[in-house]
Amino acid sequence: MTEPIRTPFEPPELGGVVEIEPGVLWTRMPLPVPLAHVNVYAFDESEGWTVVDTGVDTRKSRGLWEAFMTGPLGGRPIKRVIVTHHHLDHVGLAGWLMSEHGAELLTSRTSYLMARMLQLDIQDAPTPEMCAFWRSCGMSEEVYEKRLSERPFNTADAVSPLPLGYTRLQDGGEIEIGGQIWDIRTGDGHAPEHLTFWRRDGALVIGGDQLLGGISPNLGVSATEPLGDPVGDWIASCERFVPHARDSQLVLTGHKLPYTGLPARLSHLIENHRHALARLTEVLSEPRTACDCFDVLFKRPIKEGEYGLAMVEAMAHCRHLERKGVVTGRLREDGAILWQTGA
């Protein structure tokens, strides 16, 4: 029988530090709402430090990093920055740490290529591909018209330029961090080739956003890969992690609190989406767009700031049911896809 999930540490104040164990420090960098923060971990390498993830590139975050380096890190250099995945809240200041502080970047090939591509891809207006994708999801006219009038958010707005060159980390490999050997295991769904690290002594796991405790990560399709199946990739990844999970492992997460009870958490992460898919299958006896499914999937009102994330996740669940042969989609005259079982 698996043990319940427990969170043994209180979070650090912004700019503060919690010592997870000797030589392992936890701090936080600020993010816009609703997440508010991203977790950053530092591992003592005697002559310097390895840090995991970075936060976004803002003046405030750079100031917090400078204080972190001169204070808790004792002025010793950051030798390596490990990026768990390509999302801007995790890679945002990696380029700055490389160019300004001499750090080496270690990440997966997909994470590096995606981060560098997105950082270089600057759009001043929505592209035809973006508009077609929004339409396909059934985006409301009000939201659609507002987006047409706005400059799209660009990754470069929050990610410092990434210099050419990195060290590749691969699934099945190993790495030394903080004087200990860790096994590298990758997952998919939230981000392709997302890195997780499992310390050989069984005490710690670096989970990033792949193994979150208090919240579930967003699983969304996008205009970049509109026919993808992140929900299927996610469930398969969680199932691959199950044989390696132990109740005693402390999981260092990308957001919220580190926790123990990983076997129970993996079960929750899998079942949450299976239950959502079952609810969705039931209501799609009648045709709906992805955006018509918010109430069924999320069971709460979706606020304006959450609309985009809810839309891409709803579309991902519809695409998964399509991949499984449960629903089919037909194109409405306005470009929206109507999903239905048995159609």
Share of residues in the chain with pLDDT > 90 (%)? 93
The answer to whether 207 and 215 have CB atoms below 8 angstroms apart is no
Across 184-207, average pLDDT: 98
pLDDT at position 32: 80
Domain membership of residue 305 (yes or no) is no
Domain membership of residue 92 (yes or no) is yes
- DSSP H or E stretch at residue 329: strand 327-331
pLDDT beyond 90 at 318: yes
pLDDT beyond 70 at 192: yes
Domain membership of residue 207 (yes or no) is yes
Across 23-48, average pLDDT: 93
Indicate the pLDDT class of residue 172, thresholds 50, 70 and 90.
very high
The answer to whether 119 and 161 have CB atoms below 8 angstroms apart is yes
Share of residues in the chain with pLDDT > 70 (%)? 99
Residue whose entry in the numeric block shows the structure tokens 């590298």: 184
Which CATH number characterizes residue 171's domain? 3.60.15.10
Residue whose entry in the numeric block shows the structure tokens 């390498």: 45
Where in the sequence is the domain holding 169, given as residue range(s)?
18-123+163-283
pLDDT beyond 80 at 35: no
State if pTM tops 0.75: yes
pLDDT at position 279: 97
pLDDT beyond 70 at 122: yes
Q: What is the DSSP letter of 74?
A: T
- Residue/partner pairs of 288-292 with CB below 8 Å, 24 or more apart: 288/138, 288/338, 288/339, 288/340, 289/137, 289/138, 289/332, 289/336, 289/337, 289/338, 289/339, 290/137, 290/138, 290/314, 290/315, 290/317, 290/318, 290/337, 290/339, 291/137, 291/138, 291/139, 291/140, 292/138
- Residue 138 corresponds to which tokens in the numbers above? 């059934």
> Hey, which bits of 159-311 come out as E strands?
167-168, 174-177, 180-187, 194-199, 204-208, 250-253
Domain membership of residue 26 (yes or no) is yes
pLDDT in tens, 218-259: 999 999 999 999 999 999 999 999 999 999 999 999 999 999
Across 65-83, average pLDDT: 97
Domain membership of residue 83 (yes or no) is yes
The answer to whether 159 and 95 have CB atoms below 8 angstroms apart is yes
pLDDT beyond 70 at 1: no
pLDDT beyond 90 at 117: yes
Across 283-288, average pLDDT: 97
Domain membership of residue 328 (yes or no) is no
pLDDT at position 305: 85
pLDDT at position 343: 61
If one counts the domains in the chain, the total is 1
pLDDT beyond 80 at 33: no
Report the distance separating Cα 283 and Cα 186, nearest Å. Answer: 34
Across 116-144, average pLDDT: 96
Going 67 to 71 to 74 to 78, the CA torsion angle's sign is negative
Domain membership of residue 291 (yes or no) is no
Cα 35 to chain centroid distance, Å, stands at 12
Helix (H, G, I), strand (E, B) or coil at 276: helix
SS3 content of the chain, % helix, strand, coil (to 5): 35, 20, 40
Report the distance separating Cα 197 and Cα 251, nearest Å. Answer: 10
Domain membership of residue 258 (yes or no) is yes
